[in-house]
Amino acid sequence: MTTQAATQATMEAKTQTTHLNGINLPALRGAMEAIKADPKNGVTNWTVRSQWKGGTRSDHAVDGFGMGGQHVPRSFVMKADEPRELIGTDAYPNPQEYLLAGLNACMLVGYAAAATAMGVKLTRLEIETTGDIDLRGFLGLDPAVPAGYDRLKQVVHIAGDGTPAQFAKMHEMVHRTSPNYFNITRAIKVESELEVG
């Protein structure tokens, strides 16, 4: 079999498969078509209700999300704490770890979906994100020190049967389309209302 014939056979096999990279291709295409047909189908709403549990502990409840004007029930509780070195009990990840995990998780979905849409089978996909926070800002010890990150450094490890050009395209697509990459890399207006009692 020639190289061209082998490539064609591989492409045909990928076209006929219903799952790639653990993603249901017909479901992905169906969701994209439904949103193209009516953009309201793609409007989502997300809510997390957080409750202080004493000390540095907190619980964060999810009871569903909105999509296309419909409530989709789901139930999760994420628990947070701080390391002992930051006056916590080290029982759960801290808010910074959740923030970075949220960024990474959102981007991982983006890479997997982009690879699947391109017919690329992934064999490795990992993201490592790191950043420094100077606690003088958080503790209010120096007003000149920012309370959060000045910058984050990220390394994406990806491998599979795609070409370097395909992986570069995925990388660009994820930077353009990942909601949490967008949220982290741009200022978001937050309207915060205080209710006492």
Which tens digit of pLDDT belongs to each residue from 53-103?
999 999 999 999 999 999 999 999 999 999 999 999 999 999 999 999 999
For the cut 70, the answer to whether the pLDDT of residue 47 exceeds it is yes
pLDDT of residue 12: 52
Among 43, 63, 93, the domain-final residue is 93
179 occurs within a structural domain: yes
77 lies in the same domain as 100 = no
Whether 75 and 143 map to the same domain: the answer is no
Asked if residue 127 is part of any domain, the answer here is: yes
pTM exceeds 0.85 for this model: yes
One domain for residues 118 and 51: no
The residue-averaged pLDDT of 112-140 equals: 96
Domain assignment present for residue 4? The answer is no
Asked whether 133 and 99 are in contact (CB, 8 A), the reply is no
- Both 115 and 130 in a single domain? yes
Whether residue 53 is found in the same domain as residue 138: no
Q: Structural domain tally of the chain?
A: 2
Q: Are residues 137 and 111 in the same domain?
A: yes
Same domain, yes or no: 66 and 124: no
Is residue 99 domain-shared with residue 167, that is, in the same domain?
yes
Structure tokens at 35: 């949103």
> Is residue 132 domain-shared with residue 161, that is, in the same domain?
yes
d(CA 124, CA 126): 7
Q: Which residues contact 16 (CB under 8 A, 6 or more apart)?
A: none
Integer Cα distance of 155 and 157 in angstroms: 6
- pLDDT for res 3: 55
Which of 93, 117, 133 is where one domain is finished?
93
User: Once rounded to an integer, what is the mean pLDDT over residues 114-141?
Assistant: 96
Mean pLDDT throughout 13-22? 73
105 closest CA partner among 181, 187, 170, 162: 181
The CATH number of the domain where 106 resides is what? 3.30.300.20
**Residue 149 included in any domain:** yes
First to last CA, the chain: 76
DSSP single-letter state for residue 21: T
Q: Which of 67, 93, 119 is the last residue of a domain?
A: 93
Does residue 118 fall inside a structural domain? yes
What does the block give as tokens for 49? 């209700």
pLDDT, average across residues 41-50? 96
The confidence score (pLDDT) of residue 50 equals: 98
Pair 88, 124 in one domain: no
Residue 137 lies in a domain: yes
Q: Are 154 and 53 in contact (CB under 8 A)?
A: no
- 84: domain range? 21-93
Judge if 50 and 105 occupy the same domain: no
Instruction: Establish if 15 belongs to a structural domain.
Output: no
